Amino acid sequence: MKTKGFTLIEILIAFSILVLLALLGFMAWQNQVAKARDARRKADIKRLNIAFEDYYGDAEAYPPADILTECGEDQLKPYLDQPMPCDPLTHTPYCYIYDSDAPVGQEFRILASLENDHDPDIGKLGCAGTDFCGYEAQCNSFGAGFNFGFSSSNIAVLNPLTEFNGGASPSPSAPLPSGSPQPYDEPNGYIYACVGSEGGVCNSWGYGVPGCYFFNSDNCDNMCSNPAYWCWP
């Protein structure tokens, strides 16, 4: 008896299904590998955060600005019992935002770029927006986007640096004391405001947010202790 073979269309359909299954499997594998790298990044930065706090306990200042620049070295011993970690994909140092204002070394941020932008920790930090945790010029991150990190307890990880893009000067949300500063309306680069949702922390912010007064200094001219200057975007 003559058996019927497969038609060309049937073969093509079967081949297409196999290719699709292989592609889906490869994408799932890639996602798992990316999540594994993200877990490594989180663990690295958490260890660095602990080491930095131990360092501060002895030196009364956090490590210097260049402490993370050499991958695989032991410059943090005895506070870190392993070689200096770096990003598992790019093999570059993690972003270290060092406090250079006097007295130096009293605050820090360590930032990384997680590949899984749906990681719940990104949202918890407030870094899920288009500005991520903040574009940090010190780490050449413009366009890269750090969306995860740790910071010293006196500042927030989130630091949304937003370049001035024009617009009308905002008006204050509450009457300000006499002699209060005018909105900073001719910035060169970044502008700063006292962020009410962070307890009055001075952070760089977007110009044109209603109810905000801006400053050209990263300490907001020491005005953030007064809630009248707080910005509620």
Residue-wise DSSP of 54-81: HHHHHHSSPPPTTTTSSTT--TTTTTSS
Q: What is the pLDDT of residues 68-122, one digit of tens each?
A: 988 999 999 999 999 999 999 989 899 998 877 767 889 899 999 999 988 999 9
d(CA 66, CA 189): 24
**Distinct helix (H) and strand (E) counts, the chain:** 2, 6
How far is Cα 42 from Cα 57, in angstroms, rounded to an integer? 23
DSSP, residue by residue, 106-122:
S-EEEEE--S-TT-HHH
Q: Which residue has the higher pLDDT, 145 or 113?
A: 113
Q: Could you tell me the two tokens for 209?
A: 């947010």
Residue in 160, 86, 89, 165 with CA at minimum distance from that of residue 126 = 160
Give the percent of the chain with pLDDT over 90: 27
Model confidence band, residue 19 (pLDDT cutoffs 50, 70, 90): confident
More confident residue, 37 or 142: 37
Q: How do residues 149-186 score in pLDDT, each as one tens digit? A: 999 888 888 875 433 333 333 333 344 444 444 443 43
DSSP assignments along 156-218, one per residue? -S----------PPP-BSSPPPTTPPPP--S-SS--EEEEGGGTSEEEE--TT-TB---BSST
- Name residue, tokens 């790019």: 90
CA 201, CA 194: separation in Å to the nearest integer?
5
Please give the residue that has the higher pLDDT: either 140 or 201: 201
From residue 120, alpha-carbon distances to 125, 142, 145 in Å are: 9, 23, 16
Residue 33 has pLDDT above 70, yes or no: yes
Q: Which range is least confidently modeled, 19-23, 54-58, 93-97, 140-144?
A: 140-144
Pairing of strands 95-98, 230-231: unpaired
What is the pTM for the complete model shown?
Answer: 0.61
Please tell me the distance from the alpha carbon of residue 145 to that of residue 158, in angstroms, as a whole number.
Answer: 12
